[in-house]
Amino acid sequence: MVNVTADEIRSGLRNNEFILYYQPKASLITNRIVGAEALVRWRRPDGTILSPGAFVPLAERERLINRLTLQLLPQLIGDLVDHGLADQLCISFNVSTCDLEDPVLTHAILDAILTQRLPPAALELEITETQALQSGPEVLGNIRALSDAGIGLAMDDYGIGYSSMDTLSQWPFTTIKLDQGIVERMLDSPKNATIVRSSIRLAHELGLEVVAEGVETVSQHDFLVEAGCRIAQGFLLSRPLPLAEFKAFCAHPSHCRGLPVGLVHMAIVDHVQWRREMASYAIQRSSLPPDSPLRQTNTYPALCLTKCALGKWYAGEGLHFADLPMFRDLDAPHRGLHDVGARIVARIRAGAGPAEMAPLLHELKQVSVTLIRILEDLEDSGLEALFRLQSRATHH
């Protein structure tokens, strides 16, 4: 590790020696590059390139990190707008609570949206949970202003803090980044494997994106695919790259193999939850007096074919399997479920009691069994394809 001083960092700031590299993020569904993390590097006068670990901790202790962030932001905006990164990618940028204690950074980003044609969806800020917990109301206020403008917010190092659930509920996060330590240990530790799977499921239910950091091996990649993770970042894909090399890298498919088999399992769980909610609604409401106002409330699960969680998957990421006959076989039972659900709601509103509900609940269960069987067959087919790819990669 190179020893640097605070005065050298100040000199580097005066001479604009700090630059950005980009570490690609790949979709585990489409096999394409979907974004990157912008990471600072220090290009010294002698031509050496220093990684953040050599100077960022000192910059934070010396309260220079805010100057560094503000100096890098115009370079980032220029790369996004002038070099076309914003056209199809989302670039994440690390910030600290020091950067957000006053509105200077916030105003600079909002100004870039208004005057420099920066698409808000092209930028995501990363902040660690620990920093979020230690921040004051000014930081959260600035974050919310950026979030309201459409800027994304990622919780970095997810899984190593103490209050992740509470922080997720209070901050407008759009992404969680699984800490690379958990990703590294998940294949050797059942507990870490469970944390990864549960975190991916939690994010799915909250409508958050998940990025797995530090993916370095094919085995880690395949575990994440099977668990339903959508985006990977790490040395298996690429090290951080200078802008020109990153743009060239994006022109080619990633080393990650897109196969969203884990999302089939997500669809199964989504459906089971929908059926359980519908059954609970029917049982609870049918026990009420026939004239109870609660029977008329809209507290049942989504009845629109395209708005339920399974329907969104079927019309979206599930289309990866559209060529398989079993995927097309899902349409009829899916429609059947919604038909039974609509009849359940109509009968509840008409005052039906438990005895009248029993046949409809039985019918709901029978259609559900058919749907789950098809989804499980589809999942098995996806797993077979995944392991065939794994076997070919191993032998080559």
**How many residues make up the chain in this entry?**
396
H helix intervals, the chain = 6-14, 56-61, 65-81, 97-100, 104-115, 129-134, 137-148, 164-170, 180-185, 190-206, 218-227, 243-250, 261-286, 309-315, 325-328, 331-349, 354-395
In the beta sheet, which residues pair with residue 40? 20
Tokens coding 188: 């050797």
How far apart CA 51 and CA 348 sit, in angstroms, is: 64
Q: Is 213 a catalytic residue?
A: yes
Catalytic, out of 124, 129, 209, 213: 213
Q: How many angstroms separate the most distant Cα atoms in the chain? A: 84
**How would you class 52 by CB atoms within 10 Å of its CB: exposed for 0-12, middle for 13-18, buried for 19 or more?**
middle
The pairing of strands 18-27 and 152-158 is unpaired
Nearest Cα to Cα of residue 382 among 266, 213, 209: 266
Catalytic residue numbers, as ranges:
213
